[in-house]
Amino acid sequence: MSRPTKHAPERGNARTRLLEAARDIIREKGFAATSVEDLCKAADVTKGAFFHHFASKEALGVAVAEFWAETTTAYFAAAPYHAPDDALARILAYVAFRKAIITGALKDFTCLVGTMAQEVHASAPDIRDACGRSIFGHTATLEADIETARRERGITADWSAESLARHMQAVLQGGFVLAKAGNDPVLARESLDHLERYIRHLFNAMEDDAHDENDPDRLRLRTDAP
Amino acid sequence: MSRPTKHAPERGNARTRLLEAARDIIREKGFAATSVEDLCKAADVTKGAFFHHFASKEALGVAVAEFWAETTTAYFAAAPYHAPDDALARILAYVAFRKAIITGALKDFTCLVGTMAQEVHASAPDIRDACGRSIFGHTATLEADIETARRERGITADWSAESLARHMQAVLQGGFVLAKAGNDPVLARESLDHLERYIRHLFNAMEDDAHDENDPDRLRLRTDAP
DNA sequence: GTTAACATACCATACGGTCGGTATGTGTCA
DNA sequence: TGACACATACCGACCGTATGGTATGTTAAC
């Protein structure tokens, strides 16, 4: 059906369509419960196409994790939370941004690589490692601002920028787990309020009004963070 | 093979053995990737026994979640962190306890119901709800101490005891996710250090030495928290 | 003798993966 | 410029096995 040629790929190529389908379906059903036929149906391709592009289902798993890393990196790089001049304000804007994009259905805001890592960590090390690279690659992008804020504010701390960045990610991931268990996105947002309060405490900024304007229009996007 | 009679169940009955096997294997491989044959082999029973005790694989899922809730409730009720007279000390002792039991292999300290909830939340609502009851039942046990500590310390807060208890659970769950993604338990403990610091900030107790003695011998247990 | 607690054999299907084939683009050399 | 070789992208039938589940039989306690 409507096989798009290389010069008229109106639907995008099969590989990309499979990756997008995998991102959406695995976020909802998990990796093991997603069959390659599920993916082929959703992407409207045949099994032949699937195994032409991916050597195995596991290889597809690695590829979606990398696909996720690429798309979310671009997404966060373009996000509005980098705007403030003050480093701490940028950090708080990040948290506010993450909170703001937690809306709608679970499958639209939860984290693909967190879900996959938890599921396949023991049985598919390659996928796990790809997920790890996505997650920790993202946390690393927060470290510079944390370090700058600490220096700017003259904070002598017994914690590293690295560990705080990872903690922020842990709160997000944990919020997603609770949101799924309780079937309510509020549970994820709730923890981000505590995270924001914690960060303000760390930087002696309990009073500051650092509410950043995350333009609602720019927040209506589909993918989410690693 | 060594069929244990009702009056000589030296290995425990088949149902319990299946639940224990399910707890251990699902924590490692996830629910979907665990076949009922895996479970039968590990529990040393036949398929007939499995479907005698559980109507379906999904019913087994609900049953392990409930089994987990029961065993962890007993485990935490008997844990040493309840000892301190001061409510805040008990809360900090809880965090220290949770940190202390994060040792060894991932499958020995991670949370069954967190893993399952994340995986099956959309495809198996019954299992998800059973997981939710386990998780939020556990968080509820922390609320009284939080409320007491707040009153004792005269803290007027814009957060509820309920939400803090849930946040503590979120940090734990998120720590597990990062530990799996990075294949390193340190990542889970690291976040608990931030959680401890946050709680001290909340209760203006940054200076207090509330290091509780969690007797190492009493910590050598196999199961973990919901 | 009724019932709970298993065991054994079996079934239908779903699954990951293979394979031979076709259509289309692409580089190259006379 | 055209023809040929080759590569890429995809199709769809097929295969062996694993899986969830069932039907029936057997043992032992009450």
Chain B residues within 8 A of A32 when measuring between CB atoms: 30, 32-33, 119
Which nucleotide lies closest to B37 by the C1' atom and the CA atom? Answer: D19
Residue A123 in tokens = 């049985």
Task: Mark whether A50 and A74 lie in a shared domain.
Answer: no
Mutation target to probe the A interface, by most A beta carbons within 10 A, among B127, B176, B178 is: B178
| Two tokens, residue B113 | 């119901």
**Are A34 and A113 members of one domain?**
no
Q: Are residues A46 and A124 in the same domain?
A: no
CB contact under 8 A, B190 and A131: no
CB contact under 8 A, B123 and A193: no
Judge if A86 and A189 occupy the same domain. Answer: yes
- Mean pLDDT calculated for residue range A171-196: 98
Q: Measured between alpha carbons, how far is A143 from A145 in angstroms, rounded to an integer? A: 6
Instruction: Tell me how close the Cα of A10 comes to any Cα of chain B, in angstroms.
Output: 32
A12 touches strand D (CB under 7 A): no
In terms of domains, do A44 and A91 share one? no
In a domain, B2, yes or no: no
Per-chain mean pLDDT for chain B: 89
Using CB atoms within 10 A of its CB, is residue B2 exposed (0-12), middle (13-18) or buried (19+)?
Answer: exposed
- Residue A99: inside a domain: yes
**Residue B57: pLDDT over 50:** yes
Check whether residue A97 and residue A175 sit in a common domain.
yes
Q: pTM (2 decimals)?
A: 0.89
Whether the pLDDT of residue B3 is over 50: the answer is no
CB atoms within 10 A of CB A21: 20
Nucleotides of C under 7 A from a protein CB: 5-10, 14-21, 24-26
Q: What is the DSSP letter of A209?
A: -
- Alpha-carbon distance of A92 to A200, in angstroms, equals 8
| Residue B37 CB lies within 7 Å of the nucleic strand D | yes
Rounded Cα distance between A107 and A134, Å, is: 18
- Give the domain extent around A84: 62-202
CA atoms of A124 and A132, how far apart (whole Å): 12
How much is the average pLDDT of A99-127?
96
Residue at A126 is within a domain? yes
Our count of domains for chain B comes to: 2
- Count of CA atoms in the C-beta half-sphere (13 A) of B175: 29
* Same-domain check for residues A43 and A76: no
The burial of B91, by beta-carbon neighbours within 10 Å (0-12 exposed, 13-18 middle, 19 or more buried), is given as buried
Whole-number pLDDT of residue A206: 81
Closest in B30, B170, B183 to A178, CB measured: B170
Q: Where do runs of H (alpha helix) occur along chain A?
A: 14-29, 36-43, 47-53, 57-77, 87-100, 106-109, 112-120, 125-152, 161-182, 186-202, 216-219
Query: pLDDT tier at B62 (50, 70, 90 boundaries)?
Result: very high
Contacts of A198 in chain B (CB under 8 A): 194, 197-198, 201
Task: Tell me, yes or no, whether A92 lies in a domain.
Answer: yes
List the CATH number of the domain containing A114: 1.10.357.10
